[in-house]
Amino acid sequence: MTANRHNDGVLDAARDCVLAYGVRRTTLTDVARRAGVSRMTLYRRWPDVRSLVADLMTREWVRVLSGLDLGDPVRAVVEGVRSLRAHPLWRKIVEADPDLLLPYLLDRRGATHEAVLELLEPAVGDPARARAVLLVAQSFLLSAPTMLDPVTLDELDAELAALLEAYLGQFAQRRPPRP
Chain segment 142-157, per-residue pLDDT in tens: 999 999 999 999 999 9
Judged by DSSP in three states, 50 sits in helix
pLDDT mean over 128-140: 97
Distance CA 116, CA 114 (A): 5
For 109-131, letters b (16+ CB in 10 Å) and e give ebbbbebbeebbbebbeeeebbb
The mean per-residue pLDDT over the stretch 42-58 comes to 94
Q: How far apart are CA 122 and CA 83, in angstroms?
A: 21
pLDDT (mean) for 80-91: 96
Q: What is the reported pLDDT for 172?
A: 61
Give the pLDDT confidence score for residue 7 in this predicted structure: 86
Q: Which burial class, exposed, middle or buried, applies to 74 when counting CB atoms under 10 A from its CB (0-12, 13-18, 19+)?
A: buried
